[in-house]
Amino acid sequence: MAQRIAPRVVVDPAIRFGKPVIEGTRVPVELVIGKLAGGMAAQEVADEYGITMEDVLAALSYAASILAAEEVRGVA
């Protein structure tokens, strides 16, 4: 059963091995972020994967929240 972890982002052990995906799709958040990082325009990503611009922005928001919570420790 899918569990919403952020607006428009869900996880379900039966879909993509429980990786975060755009709600109602099998499109992984990491794919959306990776395509944007690779230089693809947000609208191109939305069109290519059949998602909305709101879904693309939700993926970015989710990624930002994960990074904001990340704790980095220096290694000497």
Domains, the chain, in order of start with CATH, read 3-69 (1.10.10.10)
State which amino acid sits at residue 7: P
The predicted-structure confidence for 12-55, as pLDDT tens digits, reads as follows: 999 999 999 999 999 999 999 999 999 999 999 999 999 999 99
- Please say if the pLDDT value at position 76 is more than 90: no
Mention every residue, 6+ apart, whose C-beta is less than 8 A from residue 59: 8, 9, 22, 29, 32, 33
Answering whether pTM is above 0.85, one says: yes
pLDDT at 32: 98
The 3-class secondary structure across 10-46, one letter per residue, is: EEECCEHHHCCEECCCCCEHHHHHHHHHCCCCHHHHH
Please give the residue that has the higher pLDDT: either 73 or 65. Answer: 65
Of 45, 47, 49, the C-alpha closest to 60 is: 45
